[in-house]
Structure 1
Amino acid sequence: MSGEFTNERFPKSALYAAGALIGIAVLTVGSIRVGVLPAPETAPESRARRQVMPAVSRDFRFEDRADGALLVTDVIANKLVFIFQPGTNTGFIRGVMRGMMRERRLHEVPRTGPVTVTQWEDGALTLEDKSTGRILELGSFGQTNRAAFAQLLVPYQKGGSGVPDQPIIPAMPAPSSAPFLSGPG
């Protein structure tokens, strides 16, 4: 190793600036925690303040079938309303539900309870687990993932068919020759 930098010193001003930045961050977070500063408003608090009402809301129970299908039951009607066949794009729904089941296990509440999917008048879509109090804003996961849950509410929208007579089996997505570049134009 050469001795070219043996007499160089790290600038003290950079250390002071980094220390000040860390100090400000710690003071800000601490002030919010103890109530000196107000916490940022959450999306549910914002909707309540603006008096945004649900456009449509439904309680569902999700279950994996032995063959890999995902079953969705309308809790109020006590009826199977969706069957996502094995191989369909249900990864996001399954991932969210696994996270919710893990949280239920941590809260020591039954894992069989329903979750509520709600489309709000302002366009927001939420998933709520009343047994744990967890609310997920599905729009924050991107349009494609949001659409995975939004399709569950289509029959219940104004002008929709209501509770389906037979379970809806969504079509398999068309295979793409360019899997990483597929999609509209």
Structure 2
Amino acid sequence: MGNKNLQLATFGGGCFWCTEAIFQEIKGVEQVVSGYSGGNVPGKPTYREVCSGLTGHAEVVQVTFNADIISYEDILVIFMTTHDPTTLNRQGADKGTQYRSVIYYHDDKQKDIAEIVLKEVGVYYENAVVTEISPLDVFYEAEDDHQNYYRNNEQQGYCSFVITPKLAKLRKLHADKLK
């Protein structure tokens, strides 16, 4: 890791394939890992179990970023503007608690920043922001076939119709933050 000021951010904005693809484009992001967090069942869950909605886990990404290049606040602004934080337990056609909008903070400073960012971006939405802010308990890495999903499956229907438009929005709103 050298002299880099590496930090972690963990959040879910619906399908983790979308959120992962967004943050892989951002300057200062070193790594994005898809996974699960926030559940209430023992042991490491599987994708199938999480998709059932019975585990309480959300699909999340854990972002390793260099805070000397991009701030946690900027990471959260990008997150909040590239998914719909006003729909409870839903993103597009994906429904269930596993698709909730959630920020899992790693320390009190991240919690404070998340609360500020939610208030700041909330004024730009017609409906109330319902993004949950909770302490990170455990992060479980998703199975290998869910890592780098967009990069590995760009021509797949879901990627073309759901993720590609989100990336276009990212490029329009946050061009100055792209690699």
TM-score (norm. length: structure 1): 0.24
Which of 1 and 2 has greater Rg? Answer: 1
Bigger RCO (CA 8 Å, 6+ sep): 2
